[in-house]
């Protein structure tokens, strides 16, 4: 039996998928254009979520648009900035 690092990596990505994704799979969107945002903590920052594979070898990124945020506060800040951008010049000159 020879050692094949590619097979070992695939097995690890499938194991991580079973551990992290499979329990919540029914909660994830079915539309691949809808975003799935992960906010990892501690060592989970090292997990390449896009590379996780299901039992059929299909990558998570093939099923979902994957985003990773460092903290929930960053998502809130991004949302507020986007809202301000949508308002554009509407709020200017109202003082």
Residue 92 lies in a domain: no
How far is Cα 24 from Cα 20, in angstroms, rounded to an integer? 8
Residue 22 predicted with pLDDT over 80: yes
Residue 93 lies in a domain: no
Total domains present in the chain = 1
Domain of residue 60: give its range.
Answer: 5-87
How far is Cα 28 from Cα 23, in angstroms, rounded to an integer? 10
Residue 65 lies in a domain: yes
Residue 95 lies in a domain: no
Residue 73 predicted with pLDDT over 80: no
pTM of structure: 0.66
C-alpha angle 14/30/69, rounded to 5°? 65
Give me the residue label for tokens 């985003």. Answer: 67
pLDDT band at 95 (very low <50, low <70, confident <90, very high): very low
* pLDDT tens sequence across 41-61: 889 989 999 999 999 999 999
Tell me the pLDDT of the chain averaged across its residues: 84
């Amino acid at each position: 039996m020879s050692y094949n690092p590619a097979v070992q990596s695939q097995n690890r990505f499938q194991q991580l998928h079973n551990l992290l994704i499979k329990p919540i799979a029914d909660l994830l969107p079915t539309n691949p254009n809808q975003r799935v945002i992960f906010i990892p903590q501690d060592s989970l920052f090292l997990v390449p979520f896009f590379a996780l594979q299901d039992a059929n070898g299909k990558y998570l990124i093939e099923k979902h648009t994957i985003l990773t945020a460092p903290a929930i506060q960053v998502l809130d800040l991004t949302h507020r900035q986007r809202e301000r951008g949508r308002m554009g010049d509407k709020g200017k000159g109202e003082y």
